[in-house]
Amino acid sequence: MSFKIKIEPDAVEDIQQGIEWYNKQLAGLGKKFLNEIRTHINLLKHNPYYQIRYDNVHCIPL
């Protein structure tokens, strides 16, 4: 069973800033960072009970 993942606009902006920062450190590193984010989002999508932080907010460390 797959669940819907909601990513807040502020989080999307943080991710974009992270990608840009990693790319400044080493070309292509931002893409690896984004791939890790996608992998973790996919894990959370299929196992939403991984970590419940607040009532309906489920998190996974990256």
- pLDDT tens sequence across 6-59: 888 999 999 999 999 999 999 999 999 999 999 998 888 888 777 777 777 777
Q: CA angle at residue 19 from 16 to 24, to 5 degrees?
A: 130
The pLDDT of residue 25 is 98
pTM of the model: 0.78
The pLDDT of residue 36 is 96
The pLDDT of residue 50 is 72
Listed by start position, the domains of the chain span 9-58
The pLDDT of residue 43 is 87
The pLDDT of residue 61 is 77
